[in-house]
A and B are shown apart, each in its own frame.
Chain A
Amino acid sequence: MSDTDIQRRQFLKTSVGAAAVAIAPGMLLFDMAHGKTEAVSSKVRWGMLIDTANCAEGCNDCVNACNKENGLSGGLSPTDSQWMRKVELKDMRGGRALSLPMMCQHCAEPPCVDVCPTAASFKRADGIVLVDKHLCIGCRYCMMACPYKARSFVHEPLHDQKPDVPRGKGTVESCTMCVHRVDKGQQPACAEACPNKSILFGNLNDPDSEISKRIRSVASTEVRADLGLNTGIRYQGI
């Protein structure tokens, strides 16, 4: 083998090695950024059953957990985002008082998705209703359409966002059912934080899931069931 040949081979080896070193981290990051490639399936429908009898008045643990998990300020002014809030109710006739958490009800027929001009509001195959922050133009029509006042508009520039929970000034946002946790096999932050275990999270389509069993055995209802939206969140005791 001539000297030139050896030098050429050496050069090729070094080049391939250098290229591999240069590309590998990128490939790894690309893979990480893509996350799980497995698509969500409509065989699953995520939902929650909230037992209002166990939901204590004045307890805000679910709301605080939601704010912390999603990087919300927790401010209570009319321009602050509140993905989850505690609502105190009093029956106008009997006077019975109760307390419950209110958030996006993850409707099967979501009015927000129907009205969104750019399809930024969308429903995943597993029933979670989300906003694509890259498509939202901030028209707020979904906020007009939502029967549950579940959505907030980001009125101010944001700082220190959570990497898992993208948000953006000038766009609309709401409870994501902690989709980033659910996709990792965890529970939404509120369900985990409730001291009385009043929020039961699970797959409504699986007849053997705890939530399905409970819905079969106790009386539960949807909020504004008259609208026929088939919500993913159900309440006991209202």
Chain B
Amino acid sequence: MASHSPSQFKNRLYYALVAAGGLVVLLGLYAAHMMEEHGHIITGMNNQIVWGLPHVFAIFLIVAASGVLNVASIGSVFGKVAYKVRAPLASLLSIAMLGGGLTVLMLDLGRPDRIIVAATHYNLTSVFAWNVVLYSGMFAAVALYLWTMMEQRMNPWSKPVGLFVFAWRFILTTGTGLIFAFLVARQAYGSALLPPMFIVLSFAWGLAVFHVVQSAIYAWNGKAYKPEIVNRMKNLLGIFIIGALYLVAAYHLTNLYFARQSEFEHFILVSGGIYPQLFWWGYGLLGNILPLALIIYPVLGKTKSVITASMLVVLGGFALLYVFIIGGQAFPLNIFPGYEVSSSFGDGQIGLYKPSLPEFLLGCGGLGIAFLITTVSVRVLNFIPHDKPTIAGQGTTD
């Protein structure tokens, strides 16, 4: 029947999308299998750059998974109605990204087959071990939160559970920042600024991902954004971008002030080849200046400008993490302050890192998992944010 063909086409397109996502996940799993078979020799990682591209993907996903819940918190905890209707989608995205990120982290282990050891042997002084608890607790808490929101009888509980999730994700992102903050001897890390920096970055990245996904869902369902909602969320994204930029700037400026750190900062910001390039062009220009410009002067039209800005924020996030994680390790440890050093083990030399295809595919597999969870869930359950005209009106006057 001719009248059914557009929906049939959409249906097919949906399955094609799911298949494409599944293929990306399969490729990621195949890459992980190859890494397990041959060892990490097939990646670009080595004894100096011990964490590589998979960690960039995984940490982006985990940090964004925490930040996207901001949308839910503003609704449930602070009672803003415009955000409340978006809380289920935000929670779903959180679970999806957390699932993707953790899978990548787990499959990048030297011995992923021993994951059960990580669940049964806890070293209480290890922030990694804390994170195992924090991440699994986050899954449970967000799932519970979703249940209180989507099951009408449980609705009265959504506020206290939302508050709990709000606290939990703060601790979770603090834990992610602490992974680096607790590294005493690395010049790039070991700073108490890192946990708050990660928290504010998570706000910006999470909201950016939310914008992109929400607009894709709206476009798919032929729904239009309400201008007042776009305005609110656009302004919030702007504030988060500026907040994150402030903390990144504070981190580098404090480093620049310490003579012992100036060589490292020179490397990351000026002389380090790919790292300063990614920092200034990737994070600075694409991740901050362009999105802020689009938010202030929405030359592409309001909705399009916000979506483009959001995509750019995500790209900038990847660039920043690449510089932070890989650039931070590439700079050699200062084992003998005051001496020029050389050895067969790369002492005193900038570490070389060339990402390989398998690790890139593994990282993409994580994105694929997040995509699949989201796409399938949105199809089978009611996650689409519905703004009732009156509610939207109330939302803006809050």
Give A residues with C-beta under 8 Å from B. Answer: 76-82, 85-93, 102, 111, 113-120, 135-141, 143-149, 151-157, 168-172, 223-224, 227, 238
When distances are taken between beta carbons in the complex, the residues of chain B under 8 Å from A113 are 123, 125
Say yes or no for B111: interface residue by CB 8 A criterion.
Answer: yes
Do A170 and B345 have beta carbons less than 8 Å apart? no
Do A111 and B342 have beta carbons less than 8 Å apart? no
Do B110 and A147 have beta carbons less than 8 Å apart? no
Question: Would you give 27 A-B contacts (Cβ < 8 Å), ordered by A?
Answer: A78-B47, A79-B41, A79-B46, A79-B47, A80-B47, A85-B343, A85-B344, A85-B347, A91-B338, A91-B339, A102-B345, A117-B129, A118-B118, A118-B122, A135-B114, A137-B109, A137-B117, A143-B50, A147-B335, A148-B333, A151-B47, A153-B47, A153-B110, A155-B40, A171-B110, A171-B111, A224-B185
Chain B, residue nearest A139 (CB): B109
Do B50 and A153 have beta carbons less than 8 Å apart? yes
In the complex, chain B residues 39-54 whose Cβ is within 8 Å of any chain A Cβ: 39-41, 45-48, 50-51
Do A87 and B126 have beta carbons less than 8 Å apart? no
Q: Which of A135, A148, A152 contacts B121 (CB 8 A)?
A: A135
How many residues of B are in contact with the other chain, CB < 8 A? 52
When distances are taken between beta carbons in the complex, the residues of chain B under 8 Å from A141 are 126, 128, 179
Q: Closest Cβ of chain A: how far from B354's Cβ, in Å?
A: 11
Say yes or no for B257: interface residue by CB 8 A criterion.
Answer: no
Q: Which of A87, A90, A140 contacts B347 (CB 8 A)?
A: A87
Q: Which of B38, B46, B126, B186 contacts A114 (CB 8 A)?
A: B126
Do A227 and B184 have beta carbons less than 8 Å apart? yes
When distances are taken between beta carbons in the complex, the residues of chain B under 8 Å from A93 are 338
Binary per-residue interface labels of chain B (186-213) against chain A in the complex, 1 for a CB within 8 Å, 0 otherwise: 1001000000000000000000000000
Do A78 and B346 have beta carbons less than 8 Å apart? yes
Binary per-residue interface labels of chain B (61-73) against chain A in the complex, 1 for a CB within 8 Å, 0 otherwise: 0000000000000
Do A90 and B329 have beta carbons less than 8 Å apart? no
When distances are taken between beta carbons in the complex, the residues of chain A under 8 Å from B132 are 117
Say yes or no for B341: interface residue by CB 8 A criterion.
Answer: yes
Do B51 and A140 have beta carbons less than 8 Å apart? yes
Give B residues with C-beta under 8 Å from A. Answer: 36, 38-41, 45-48, 50-51, 109-112, 114-115, 117-118, 121-123, 125-129, 132, 179, 182-186, 189, 329, 333, 335-347, 351-352
Do B47 and A138 have beta carbons less than 8 Å apart? no
Do B40 and A170 have beta carbons less than 8 Å apart? yes
When distances are taken between beta carbons in the complex, the residues of chain A under 8 Å from B112 are 137
Chain B, residue nearest A235 (CB): B336
Chain B, residue nearest A83 (CB): B345
- Name, among B46, B114, B126, B186, the residue most crowded by chain A CB atoms within 10 Å (CB to CB): B126
Do B335 and A155 have beta carbons less than 8 Å apart? no
Chain B, residue nearest A78 (CB): B46
- The docked-state distance in angstroms from the alpha carbon of A226 to that of B397 is 56
A-B contacts besides A78-B48, A118-B123, A171-B111, 6 pairs, CB < 8 Å: A82-B345, A90-B341, A114-B125, A135-B114, A139-B110, A144-B50
> Do A111 and B184 contact each other (CB < 8 Å), given the known contacts A87-B342, A118-B117, A238-B336?
yes
